[in-house]
Amino acid sequence: MPLLPATTELLAFENQAGRLYYQPASYVRLAWAPGRLPLPVIQEFYEQVLSLLRRTNVRRILSEHGQREPLSQATQQWISADWIPRAMQQARTQHCAIVEGANPVHRLSTQSVVSSAPDGFLFRRFDTFAPAAAWLCELTV
Average pLDDT of span 118-138:
95
* Helix, strand, coil percent values for the chain (each to nearest 5): 45, 25, 35
pTM of the model: 0.91
For residue 4, is pLDDT > 50? no
For residue 60, is pLDDT > 90? yes
Q: Mean pLDDT over all residues of the chain?
A: 91
Element spanning 73, H or E: helix 73-78
> What's the pLDDT tens digit per position in 15-43?
999 999 999 879 999 999 998 899 999 99
Three-state SS at 138: helix
What is the rounded CA–CA span in Å between residue 80 and residue 103? 21
CATH topology of domain 10-138: Transcription Regulator spoIIAA (3.30.750)
pLDDT at residue 94, as a whole number: 95
